[in-house]
Structure 1
Amino acid sequence: MSCATGNHDHHDVYAAQCPCRDVLDLLANKWSALAIGALEDGPQRFGALQRQLQGVSPKVLTQTLRRLEDSGFVDRTIYPAVPLHVEYSLTELGRGVAIPLAQLRTWVEEHLDEIQPA
């Protein structure tokens, strides 16, 4: 099992030290998946995202958006205005991962009644 960086043929998500696991951890997080989905229709301000992602605290949403931005999935644009105007949008990488995440969200909604309660 190898997990060299630079050539995707050598990445192995099952290898303990592979950085793929960090990306998988980020994308498998419910708030990340939901934030990416909320941004599919275009840029949004923090407050709009928080209203759409019912139940997320401001702290958790801030942390989630920062992680997504640091990983290259989300852009944060600051507009010089009073008060400050900040918008979040998907990058090309974010739009690419939005497709399988949308499929997963749809699958969950369609099959929720079949899943045994924990």
Structure 2
Amino acid sequence: MSAPPTPPEAHPGTPPGPDPVTDLIRWAAFSCVLVPVVLLWCGTSLAGAAGTALGLAAVTAACRLLLRRSERGARLLAEEGAPQRGRHHRTGPGAHRGGRRSGGNTPAG
């Protein structure tokens, strides 16, 4: 019996697997075309459908920019070896809300 084949990522020089951001942008571009077509089919004016298409294209472009920027920032943090903190994983002083504070419990003023 032969050994099972290794996954494609294990071979050097092969491209990585599908990029989820690229797939998301492809679906968004598809909707930028599909939504105006459906609007025209339902009786909306050509100007209204065109405006909708332009609005969806602008939102898609902004989301793509933000996703790529976030992806690049995460990659830079991983390369630097910096600890990655999630939304609720704060560190350092003042990390915990509530608790005891010095200075008493009197109202200000």
TM-score by length of 2: 0.27
Bigger relative contact order (CA 8 A; separation at least 6): 1
Larger radius of gyration: 2
